[in-house]
Chains A and B, each alone.
Chain A
Amino acid sequence: MINIQDMRDTARDLLAKNEVRAVIGYRRGSSGMNAEPVVITDAAQADELVWDPTCFHNLALYLVEDRKFLAHTRAKPGLPIAIVAKGCDARAIVVLMQEHYFKREEVYIIGMSCEGTGVLDERKLASQGIQASNAAFDGDDYVFTTAQGEKRIAAREVMADRCLECRIPYPREHNVVLGEDKTGRVLAEPFAALKRFEERDAAERWIYWERQFDRCIRCFACRSVCPMCFCDECVVDSISFPVTAQTTAEEKANRVRWIERSAVRSENITYHMTRAMHLAGRCVDCNECERVCPVNIPLRLLNNKMEREAREQFGYEPGASIGAPALVASFLDNDPEKFIR
């Protein structure tokens, strides 16, 4: 089991020795039991850092934010930035590096092995009727502090599905790593939900998705939270259009409007299809998008579908290697083509 003090010491050392300019980690939130992301720049803040089953956020997002901030202020990064990263987070960082969003030496990865106990799925906990104010790891269990006292639950009962299915619950890419490598400890069959879903026929699948897509309010939380959605302007809309001094009137005037802003089915589905396509081979299944969706749209199914295609048809593993080309920018001579006439 990881000793939280080790993580704090690591962060403190890095900051004290001026090896990094900041550490992205988790701290206690101000409401409820959940941890929240924090960026600390002072060694004295290291003791704020926490590590518990509510550290579900994929912090790689804040590397992206940091990069955008630097670009905006035209500041030179100087020292690297450190980040606390789980297995999936580290894979996300690898994808970002694959896409040259930053260089390896600009990031100091404090790897956290999930040791097979993953992170919590709040909805599973809620469905057990538990309201807790704090959560902690303990061996293979989670321990919750509730109004009725301490409650111990086997982690696998309330763990996020993606953690149950995780093949490599370990940050392969790291500068330091805490915890044991429990790779191989897969608690549930990968793509289980996907498999179950695919047993339905096309008509049933549509009925299901139609209802899901109709519900989307296009708050774009799914996109905002995804470290892979780092584009300044998303192709599907004009939100956050990166107007610079070089952007011409022509460019501004001639943006293609692939989708409209109205949250109606046709636009929502195009948005989600596009997003799934754009995440093919890039999504690392951190499942943040699905977690943050306020209306419970099962985005993981879409991402898993793409992930499995990539793996099974093209032998492609997202976030496996910094040097690998992107899934859709490469091919194999014998890629499947049975579908082609």
Chain B
Amino acid sequence: MSEQQAEVTTDYEPRIVAFLCKWCSSAGSDLAGVSRIQYPSNATPITVPCSGSVSPMYILSALKKGADGVLVSGCHIGDCHYIEGNYLARRKIHLVKELLGFVGVEQDRFRMSWVSAAEGAKYSQVIKDFVEDLRPLGPQTKLKADRS
């Protein structure tokens, strides 16, 4: 049904939960701030120690609570503050993404990026792109819990 809804809800603003690792991506988003690079306000960041600490449960949980998109962002491979946390994340998140896509949840609702502390501009671009890619998909209703 979400396809139809997308057409009617023109002023739809996707809601994104962004899990940012503390050392790179969160710092990268700080740099975007310091550099005053503007980007849409759709993503609410949650700082986690490392992208490797993002359990698949977090992602499912965010979608269940109604997130239209979920971003996991960490340090570039080789730069992980915790050495190999992002390697573990990469594998786990690959699986989650594949699985969600498999059951027909739009894969574009879920994104992973490597953003270093020096990549403020990249962070803002990731968010911009994500928001743009989410817009045509409309609100996420597939996994969203109905609490009525």
Contacts and interface: CB of A to CB of B under 8 A. Distances in A.
A and B touch in the complex (CB under 8 A): yes
Interface of A: 198, 202-210, 235, 258-260, 264-267, 269-270, 273-274, 276-277, 280, 302, 305-306, 309-310, 313-314, 327-331, 333, 335-337, 339-341
Interface string B81-97: 00010011011101111
Contact of A205 (B104, B145, B146): B104
B99 A341 contact: no
A99 to B, nearest CB: 17
Give the top 5 A-B pairs by smallest Cβ distance, nearest first: A206-B104, A205-B104, A266-B145, A331-B87, A341-B113
A272 to B, nearest CB: 8
A205 B103 contact: yes
B56 interface: yes
B57 A258 contact: yes
Contacts of B111: 341
Given A198-B102, A276-B99, A340-B112, 19 more contacts: A202-B101, A203-B104, A205-B103, A206-B103, A210-B104, A210-B142, A266-B143, A266-B146, A269-B143, A270-B61, A302-B99, A305-B98, A309-B95, A313-B94, A327-B91, A331-B84, A331-B88, A336-B94, A341-B111
Interface in B68-92: 77, 84, 87-88, 90-92
B94 A273 contact: no
Interface of B: 3, 56-57, 60-61, 64, 77, 84, 87-88, 90-92, 94-107, 111-114, 126, 129, 142-146
16 contacts: A202-B107, A205-B102, A205-B103, A259-B64, A269-B142, A274-B60, A302-B102, A305-B99, A306-B98, A327-B91, A331-B90, A333-B87, A335-B87, A335-B91, A341-B112, A341-B113
Contacts of B60: 258, 270, 273-274
A204 B104 contact: yes
Contacts of B104: 202-210
A277 B99 contact: yes
Contacts of B146: 264-266
B5 to A, nearest CB: 14
Contacts of B64: 259, 266, 270
A277 B97 contact: no
